[in-house]
Structure 1
């Protein structure tokens, strides 16, 4: 499957040029933002870990081996990219145990930067945001055009597409979801089941968002929409009054799209019709998600970019810094700027 099939049209016009992302790990840096004060005491050891070209699950396994505990005793807030330089929190459940010697978990791919005790374990999704520092190299684009596009993105945000990495190489996870859906089966392996269900939901969401981008309504509330604040999982219906809420203009409040599950879309009117039409293009996946016990949830269609700044360390390098809500993809920002030369799975 192509990028356009998995995502959808750009909102701010064609790519300004081309560039390379992730030539080295340092070109894609992610810092987890966690607003939890640690007490310094308790049976959970929290670790601030820097990882280079190492995925979160492998880091958890290495910490478990070094600490001499089962991997189920290791918790983290979210998964981070493998091909990147990332800093994130882990917690180790160590009831009645002293701090273990963890030096053997460390090498050039994993460094423990800080540690502290706390009464509770780190919960999935506990972080409030992710901070990004990206370096686009081999840049072939006019700086003035990029600057104008970035100024527009700072004001309007970008479509909140799920990134290509959610779908696997050439959309392999979507193909897998279709195969299981057509057989009306679920994978036995837990990790595979989770990955394919997630890919199916993400693909249907992207189809809805693509239609809204094409219609120019991805960043505009319509009667029948379900609205949500940037950092909230709850939503409420939009009537005429809600469509004029001033918080929409300042990117605090947004229209949402479906994370598919049981039942019809809870949206109304033309919005519900569009969402049901998108589900009808993949009827077996929509039915499969519902029968798998997935509940209908919502995701904001518009992605606000916090603290966006940029500069050019060299004429052919663009460095970006910004903050995104959890579960959102930095590549959604990059895609509105440039095409990534020769890179199809980032």
Structure 2
């Protein structure tokens, strides 16, 4: 089977997000509310609104500060998305939400829970995407989709992580060089995250280029599918190639910070060499106090399906783990000019 290459030759061009209903997202929660407690959890379906806007709106309706509202992850604005929010209302009755919400926001369920919903507390997201005006080689596109189902998808951070026209990288550099002062800790975190994502994407691009993004090299840090822990591969386990092929294991790349990468030998040298191509970002992340972490170089999409509804309309369905980008999957086989999309 022909391997992926970077940059990928994509067999289709298409339009994504022709309308919000073409990008459906359903959050898969890690916890469901138990029915009692100080926090009101709300399952909300929104159309054409981003997550932070809805969180601020819920805070105003409830008369609580923005920090009293929680959610597990940001969802796309140009989409129809379903996700959970929490609002801290100790000893208070919840307002009648529907009387204050715009028609783009609908409360599907409201139940109490003992804890606030924290960022990252989700299993993943289910997606249904419709690509319109598809042009190109349909057979090649379907072959690429079959390959993605068998081998997984390069786990690039999507364009949304980098801001409009990639501006978050320039702001991160200015922050690290002292020419930009950022007092808002949330905004500062966005710039730090963009810097980390840039280094990770460069490492992944290098591993795609040499064909080792899903092949273990001596010194690689390998991660069990669905787990955060990893181990160093030293060609001491003959089952590793088979487990990688079955997507039970994944090669990882660095989320840059203080200290040496967990990898060893030539792999560690490659990662350090890539980081050296963006020294302002690498040194800035180290000085900011972030420590080295790992992220899988590959996404394992679950239940990946596709169907041609019309000659030029393709419907995709799949589930991704938390932190993966739906548009990263799409861009493997179709050029959509996508602006990102964080799951």
TM (norm. structure 2) is: 0.93
The within-5 A match list for 1:52-71 is: 52-71=47-66
Output aligned runs, 1:124-139, within 5 Å.
124-139=119-134
**1:86 is matched with which residue?**
81
Decide whether aligned partners of structure 1 residues 26 and 247 sit closer, same or farther in structure 2, where only a CA change above 3 A counts. same
Partners of 1:223 and 1:243 within 8 A in 2? no
- Which structure 2 residues correspond to residues 137-216 of structure 1 after superposition, within 5 A? 137-183=132-178, 187-216=182-211
User: Structure 1: 5+ residue runs without aligned partners?
Assistant: 1-8
- Cα distance in 1 for partners of 2:8, 2:172 equals 31
**2:39 matched to 1:44?**
yes
- 1:220-243 Cα offsets, whole Å, 9 max, x none, are 111101111232222221121346
Match of 1:278 in 2: 274
Q: Deviations 1:16-41 (Å, cap 9, x if unpaired)?
A: 12001111111111110014243211
Task: Let me know the Cα RMSD of the aligned residues.
Answer: 1.8
Distance 1:52 1:309 in 2: 24
Go from structure 1 to structure 2 and tell me whether the alpha carbon gap of 1:345 and 1:328 turns closer, same or farther (over 3 Å shift).
closer
Give the match's secondary structure for 2:252.
Answer: strand
**Cα distance in 2 for residues equivalent to 1:85 and 1:247:** 36
Which one of the candidate residues 301, 307, 319 is aligned to 2:303?
307
Q: Deviations over 1:211-270 (max 9, x none)?
A: 000000001111101111232222221121346324322112101000000022121011
Q: Verify: 1:26 aligned to 2:17, yes or no.
A: no
Q: CA deviation at 1:84?
A: 1.1
Distance 1:229 1:186 in 2: 40
User: CA 1:33 to 1:243, structure 2 compared with 1: closer, same or farther past 3 Å?
Assistant: farther
What displacement does 1:344 show? Answer: 5.4
Deviation at 1:189, TM superposition (A): 2.3
> Cα distance 1:143–1:198, how it changes in 2: closer, same or farther (>3 A)?
same
- SS of 2:122's partner is coil
Residues 184, 288 of structure 1: 8 Å contact kept = no
Q: Whole-Å Cα distance in 2 between the matches of residues 214 and 105 of structure 1?
A: 52
* Deviations, residues 95-116 of structure 1 (Å, cap 9, x unaligned): 1112222124422221111111
Identify the residue that residue 267 of structure 1 maps to in structure 2.
263
Higher mean Cα deviation, 272-281 or 115-124? 115-124
Query: Does structure 2 conserve the Cα–Cα contact (< 8 Å) formed by 1:10 and 1:336?
Result: no
Q: 1:323 aligns with which of 304, 316, 319?
A: 319
Q: Distance in 1 between matches of 2:270 and 2:97?
A: 53
Alignment partners' CA distance in 2, 1:48 and 1:270 = 47
- In 1: Cα distance, 2:339 partner to 2:31 partner: 37
Output the CA distance in 2 between the equivalents of 1:184 and 1:213. Answer: 35
SS of match in other structure, 1:128: strand
Structure 2, unmatched stretches of 5+, are none
Cα distance in 2, alignment partners of residues 39 and 344 from structure 1: 37
Going from structure 1 to structure 2, the CA distance change for 1:124 and 1:42 (only over 3 Å counts) comes to: same
Contact 2:160 2:339 in 1 (8 A): no
Contact 2:196 2:255 in 1 (8 A): yes
Provide the rounded CA distance (Å) in 2 between the counterparts of 1:114 and 1:18: 39
Mapped to 2, the partners of 1:184 and 1:240 lie a distance apart of 47
